[in-house]
Amino acid sequence: MKKRLKIVKRFEKREKSNYPGFKIRDIFARSHLWKWAWGVGLISSLSLVFLLPPTSEITFFNKLGMIILITFFVIIFFIYLWRFWVQFLIPKPLSLCAILIISMALMGRIIILLPQVSNYFIPIAFLSILGSLLFAPSLSVLVTLLFSILFSINAASLNLMPVLVMGGIVGAYSATFVHQRTDLTKGGLYVGTSNVLIILAVGLLANYSFDHWDLLWGMGGGFFSSILALTVLPYLETYFGITTDIKLLELGNLNLPLLNRLSIEAPGTYHHTIMVASLAEAGAEALGANPLLVRVGAYYHDVGKILRPHFFFENAGTGKNNYHDKMAPNLSSMIVISHVKDGIELAQRNRLPGLVTDIIRQHHGTGLIAYFYREALKERGEEKESIHEENFRYPGPKPRTKESAIVMLADSVEAAFRFSAQKTLKGIQSQVKKVVNNKLKDNQLDECDLTLGEIARISDAFVRILAGVIHTRGRYPEEMLKSQSVVG
Ligand SMILES: [Fe+2]
Ligand SMILES: [Fe+2]
């Protein structure tokens, strides 16, 4: 009997946990309790860092003052996030923020406590460089300002504040000019130089009251910040799944093994990819979307074709062997559709970021492979009902971001341009219009928030690039002739 009761109780417990209303996690998410928990946790951790170890010099009111300051710090930061960067108010970015803020507080506090090390060595630019790369420069500048106030009050040194403020801002700005990881060391040089100049300026203002060693500590603090940021950045990118511009710039290197393989094993696809990338980049620039993400996404969008390159028209050459001739249309369409799945697998194996993988996954949406569908209908003749359209459609999902939608449009426009005999400006304009309208009619752009005005701007950008291509092609022989006559 007891055993049975136990089983019933266990069953009831399981039922309760299956019912969504009973999940503690859900209650937390719905009531935004976790945001409060995050705020209170951050205030407590910062208070502990700034008030430990306890000394007899610190009175109760000193402690209270520090806690009030820290509470204001967290409230201002939270309001700024809520007002301007609401996309970061989700658990992962908030935990990353908390990790960065607490580790900065710890480092600063240790340096303030160590009598052998100057306070000018505080690596505030570590926080501002990483904040700028992983979040946004403006957010990073705000945290830098708040920390500069906290550190200078904690170290009882007013001279420290301008050095930290300027060093932090220079660090945040320098991170926006970074094109490769090693550029971060240049950032260290800029921060170090700013530290030296401000220490000098503050010293001169206070009637030459500074230690010459402080200049060296200031320079060292700049370099230490950048080296530390350079070391931890890859781990943070990987663990928190954040795609920084540095990562995208690295992935845009055409000599990387995967792209190199594409150029050798599927040269037609490779050239298609390069053209799609320039179209998509122009489209993204016209819109204010992320041109770097779009370019890199376009480079990798058809990478899955590496596995069976000859089944794709662009690699089939002038047609000695058309593999699809001997195959049933539905088998052909299955092979063509599989390049999306293969691309996702290759992307995951090569650890491409989620944003790029999403572009691979969404670049055909749920589009129809019209050619094989028509072929199948033709083959079946009167038994058309046995052909299901959905078997000739990509599995999707449809593009969910503006960047994915731009790559989808650029991809289709490039394919249409390649196989079209129309090479006049008017011809290109009507062709681009037709391709875009087809995507709209097929509801492929329903899930990304592109407006009709934005779609028109993207189309104009495509026409501009394609017009450039035909003009160059038109002029080329003439120019060649001229240059040859000059040489000859
Ligand atoms: Fe594709
Ligand atoms: Fe493509």
- The bound ligand whose nearest atom lies closest to the alpha carbon of 272 is 2
Domain interval for residue 453 = 247-487
Ligand 1: distance of its center to the CA of 302 in Å? 5
Q: From ligand 2's centre to the CA of 378, what distance in Å?
A: 26
Name residue, tokens 């779609």.
455
Which pLDDT score is estimated for 478?
45
For residue 408, which of 359, 469, 375 has the smallest C-alpha distance? 359
d(CA 95, CA 195): 30
CA 308–ligand 1 middle distance (angstroms): 13
Ligand in nearest proximity to the CA of 416: 2
Average confidence (pLDDT) over 238-251:
88
Q: Give yes or no for residue 480 having a pLDDT over 50.
A: no
Centre of ligand 1 to C-alpha 312, Å, is 10
**18 C-alpha to center of ligand 1: Å?**
41
Q: How far is the CA of 367 from the centre of ligand 1 (A)?
A: 11
Cα of 54 vs centre of ligand 2, distance in Å, is 64
Q: Are residues 98 and 235 in the same domain?
A: yes
Tell me what the mean pLDDT of segment 111-131 comes to.
92
Q: Supply the pLDDT for residue 483.
A: 41
Expressed in angstroms, the distance from the first to the final Cα of the chain is 107
* pLDDT band at residue 456 under the 50/70/90 scheme: very high
Q: How confident is the model at residue 92 (pLDDT cuts 50, 70, 90)?
A: confident
Of the ligands numbered here, which is closest to the C-alpha atom of 364? 1
Q: What is the pLDDT of residue 8?
A: 46
CA 461 – ligand 1 centroid, Å: 21
30 and 169 in a common domain: yes
Q: How far does the centroid of ligand 2 lie from the alpha carbon of residue 424, in Å? A: 23
Looking at the CA of 269, which ligand is closest?
A: 2
pLDDT at 472: 61
Does 227 share its domain with 255?
no
Report yes or no on 3 lying in a domain: no
**Cα–ligand 1 centroid distance for 418 (angstroms):** 15
Q: Which of 218, 242, 266 is the last residue of a domain?
A: 242
Residue 237 CA to ligand 2 centre (angstroms): 28
Residue 365 Cα to ligand 1 midpoint, Å, equals 10
pLDDT in the model for residue 378:
80
Identify whether 71 is part of a domain. yes
Share above pLDDT 90 across residues of the chain, in percent, rounded to a whole number: 53
Mark whether 255 and 227 lie in a shared domain: no
Residue 448 Cα to ligand 1 midpoint, Å, equals 18
Residue 345 sits in a domain whose CATH number is: 1.10.3210
Q: Would you place residue 485 in the very low, low, confident or very high pLDDT band (cuts 50, 70, 90)?
A: very low
Residue where one domain finishes, among candidates 223, 242, 261: 242
Asked whether the whole model's pTM tops 0.75, one would answer yes
Same domain membership, residue 169 and residue 140: yes
pLDDT confidence band for 29 (50 / 70 / 90): low
Task: Give yes or no: residues 202 and 271 share one domain.
Answer: no
Confidence category of residue 145, pLDDT binned at 50, 70, 90: very high
Residue 297 CA, ligand 2 centroid: distance in Å: 11
Do 228 and 270 share a domain, yes or no?
Answer: no
Q: What is the pLDDT of residue 481?
A: 40
Please indicate, yes or no, if residue 12 is contained in any of the structural domains.
no
**CA 371 to ligand 1 centroid distance, Å:** 15
Q: Looking at the structure, do residues 320 and 425 belong to the same domain, yes or no?
A: yes
The reply to whether 212 falls in a domain is: yes
**One-letter-per-residue 3-state SS of the chain:** CHHHHHHHHHHHHHHHHHCHHHCHHHHHHHCCHHHHHHHHHHHHHHHHHHHCCCCCCCCHHHHHHHHHHHHHHHHHHHHHHHHHCHHHCCHHHHHHHHHHHHHHHHHHHHHHHCCCCCHHHCCHHHHHHHHHHHCCHHHHHHHHHHHHHHHHHHCCCCCHHHHHHHHHHHHHHHHHCCCCCCHHHHHHHHHHHHHHHHHHHHHHHCCCCCCHHHHHHHHHHHHHHHHHHHHHHHHHHHHHCCCCHHHHHHHCCCCCHHHHHHHHHCHHHHHHHHHHHHHHHHHHHHHCCCHHHHHHHHHHCCHHHHCCHHHCHHHCCCCCCCHHHHCCHHHHHHHHHHHHHHHHHHHHHCCCCHHHHHHHHHCCCCCECHHHHHHHHHHHCCCHHHCCHHHHECCCCCCCCHHHHHHHHHHHHHHHHHCCCCCCHHHHHHHHHHHHHHHHHCCCCCCCCCCHHHHHHHHHHHHHHHHHHHHHHHHHHHHHHHHHHHHC
> What is the largest distance, in Å, between two alpha-carbon atoms of the chain?
107
The number of folded domains in the chain is: 2
Residue 2 lies in a domain: no
Instruction: Give the Å distance between the CA of 468 and the centre of ligand 2.
Output: 21
d(CA 273, ligand 2 centre) in Å: 6
Ligand in nearest proximity to the CA of 409? 2
Please report which confidence band the pLDDT of residue 101 belongs to, taking 50, 70 and 90 as the band edges: very high
Last residue of a domain, one of 214, 242, 270: 242
Tell me how far the alpha carbon of residue 426 lies from the centroid of ligand 2, in angstroms: 24
Are residues 220 and 295 both part of a single domain? no
Instruction: Give the ligand with the smallest distance to the CA of 339.
Output: 1
Same domain, 466 and 398: yes
Q: Which ligand is nearest to the CA of 363?
A: 1
pLDDT at 6: 55
pLDDT tens for each residue of 409-455: 999 999 999 877 767 888 899 999 999 999 999 999 999 889 999 99
Residue 325 alpha carbon to ligand 2 centre in Å:
21
pLDDT at 383: 67
Q: What is the mean pLDDT of residues 223-228?
A: 94
At 476 the pLDDT is 44
Ligand 1 centroid vs 467 CA: distance in angstroms? Answer: 24
- Contacts with 253 (C-beta within 8 Å, 6 or more apart), sequence order: 259
Cα of 444 vs centre of ligand 2, distance in Å, is 16
> Average of pLDDT values for 44-61?
82
82 and 108 in a common domain? yes
State the chain's mean pLDDT as an integer. 85
Cα(254) to ligand 1 centroid in Å equals 19
Report CA(392)–ligand 1 centroid distance (Å): 14
* C-alpha 450 – ligand 1 centre gap (Å): 21
pLDDT of 165-223, one tens digit each?
A: 999 999 999 988 877 788 888 889 999 999 999 999 988 887 766 678 888 999 999 99
Burial 79-108 (b: 16+ CB within 10 A, else e): eebeeeeeebeeeebbebbbebbbbbbebb
Higher pLDDT, 159 or 274: 274
- Whether 234 and 335 map to the same domain: the answer is no
Q: What is the pLDDT of residue 479?
A: 45
With respect to residue 138, please indicate whether it lies within any of the assigned structural domains. yes
In this structure, is residue 16 part of a structural domain?
A: no
Q: With bands split at pLDDT 50, 70 and 90, how would you rate the model's confidence at 13?
A: low
- Give the range with max mean pLDDT: 8-22, 54-68, 169-183: 169-183
